[in-house]
Amino acid sequence: MDSFHIADLFGSIAQIWNEWLGGFLATEWVNIVNKAVGALLVTAVPVVIVVFTILGERKIIGRFQDRLGPNRVGPFGIFQTIPDVVKLLTKEIITPAHVDKLLYNIAPLLSVSSVILIWAVMPFAKNIIGVDLDVGALYFVAVSSFGTLAILLAGWSSNNKYALVAAFRVVAQLVSYEVPMVLALLVPVMLAGTLKMNGIVEAQAGEVWYVVLAPVSMLIFFISSTAEVGRSPFDLLEADSEIVAGYNIEYSGMKFAMFFLGEWIHAFTICGLTATLFLGGWHGPFVDQVPLLGPIYFLIKMFVVYFIHIWIRTTMPRIRIDHLLDLNWKFLVPLSLVNLIVMMFVIKLVGDSVAKTSVLLISNVLMFVGTFMILGEVGRQARQREESMRQAEPVTAGVQG
């Protein structure tokens, strides 16, 4: 056995494990056992992280709102999630009458499994990844797209008018925001030249992080992935004050907990994806000599992005459904198309010259400036129209206003 390096902790553990298994199993069986253990770990990691994330989010939201979060159970309330889980486990699972039993029960399963399947391609370190699929970026888009189907089935099979209406609205939102998300995702793929997630991270290790080279894409991806998950300010999915609990009105107990769990896991999964695609994933200083730093950097970046999500959640009010869809189809989609075309030309024309970073950065800044100018123009025209309408009918404006 080679010496055990603490700097390469996971590599050494893997080596010891493989040698122990190879002692009494043939090689193909070792492979299969490794794959099963890998799948188990990939399932367990998001579930473990979500336990801390739920608590962390509640405490941080509490601080934003000038109060303490949960602080009864355990020191600083760190064990709060456990009583929550126990409570949900022991609630009665009420299945309403006249639901379509097969679809009603399948929907939470599909919803959770579609999120967990994304973690198979999340790169934690150079050698720690579930499987480095050669269509990694496309795989995660495809898998999250069948989560929307689960919501539709849930809403329909609940035999409830509110659930059905809510499910339609949710699917319209989720499906619309996939377009700018993928169009913004294409820019790091273009810069890296591969769809493999680890390949994208390694390409960023070679040059500068893509947040510097493509900030417009990062912003578009950030906004549309927030809407994909259904977090505030886009949380019409479960607007408690508007449509009760949305598509999961008729779910109780553990089935509701599954939807809930799926949504929380999805929330920090896209933070992990943003960190991988734009912030350099597991790359950081000294990560070659000390590979253990890889997952640590990745988790730090993921939680930084997650903190920004929480910040936005507690600060901004909810957006109305028609504003939501207008924002997508009339602003984000044209912006992402323009971004894609501009980046295509600029990257190809600049090539690999020394000025690459600055040229890309300048072109992105110009896109920002152009966008703000157009938005300012549109806003000014809307205000002028309103002014002229108000001046044309001074009497009735008071009556109607």
Partner 1 sequence: MLSDYELIGILAIFALALPILAIVGGSILGPRKPNRIKTDVYECGMESYGPTWVQFKVQYYIFALVFLVFDIEMVLLFPFAAAFKILPLYAVIEAAIFILILAAALVYAWKKQALEWF
Partner 2 sequence: MIYAVFVLFVLMILGGGIGVVTSRNIIRAAAALILSLFGVAGLYVLLEAGFMAAVQILVYIGAIAILIIFTVMMTQRATDPTRLMFNTQWQWSLAVAVVFLLLLVYTLNLVWPFTTSAETVASTGDVTFELGRALMDPEGFVLPFEVASILLLGAMVGALAVARERHDDEEE
Looking at the DSSP bridge assignments, the partners of residue 245 are: 243
Residue 99 contacts partner 2 per CB under 8 A: no
Smallest separation (angstroms) from partner 1 to the CB of 96? 5
CB of 376 to partner 2, least distance (A): 27
Shortest gap between Cβ of 64 and partner 1 (angstroms)? Answer: 31
Report the candidate in 302, 277, 298 with the shortest Cα–Cα distance to residue 188: 277
The distance of closest approach from Cβ of residue 176 to partner 1 in the complex, given in angstroms and rounded to an integer, is: 6
Q: How far is the CB of 275 from partner 1 (least distance, A)?
A: 20
Q: C-alpha distances in angstroms, 64 versus 59, 60, 302, 310?
A: 9, 6, 20, 9
Q: Which stretch binds partner 2 (CB under 8 A): 69-77, 132-140, 268-276, 292-300?
A: 132-140
Q: Which one of partner 1, partner 2, none interacts with residue 278, CB within 5 to 8 A by kind?
A: none
Supply the minimum distance, in Å, between the C-beta of residue 160 and partner 1.
Answer: 5
214, interface contact from partner 2, partner 1, none, CB < 5-8 Å by kind: none
* Per CB under 8 A, 138 contacts partner 2: yes
Contact by Cβ (8 Å): 248, 259: yes
If the CB atoms of residues 262 and 281 are measured against partner 1, the closer one turns out to be 262
Q: How far is the C-alpha of 376 from the C-alpha of 373, rounded, in Å?
A: 5
Q: By CB under 8 A, is residue 175 in contact with partner 2? A: yes
- Using CB under 8 A as the binding rule, whether residue 186 contacts partner 2 is answered as no
Tokens of 153: 């089935």
Cβ nearer to partner 1, comparing 179 with 292: 179
Stretch that binds partner 2, among 53-61, 77-85, 101-109, 378-386 (CB under 8 A): 101-109
- Give the nearer residue to partner 2 in terms of CB position, either 140 or 222: 140
Among 171, 205, 245, 296, binds partner 2 (CB under 8 A): 171
234 touches partner 2 by CB under 8 A = no
If one asks whether residue 142 binds partner 2 (CB under 8 A), the answer comes out as yes
For residue 276, the one-letter residue type is T
| Binding span for partner 2 by CB under 8 A among 15-23, 170-178, 219-227, 339-347 | 170-178
Give 313 or 364: the residue with its C-beta nearer to partner 1.
Answer: 364
102 binds, among partner 2, partner 1, none (CB under 5 to 8 A by kind): partner 2
* Least CB distance to partner 1 at residue 79 (A): 19
Per CB under 8 A, 195 contacts partner 2: yes
Least separation, in Å, of the C-beta of 32 and partner 1?
8
Shortest Å, Cβ 169 to partner 2: 12
Which parts of this chain interact with partner 2 (CB under 8 A)? 100, 102-103, 106, 133-135, 138-139, 141-143, 145-146, 148-149, 152-153, 156-157, 159, 168, 171, 175, 178, 194-195
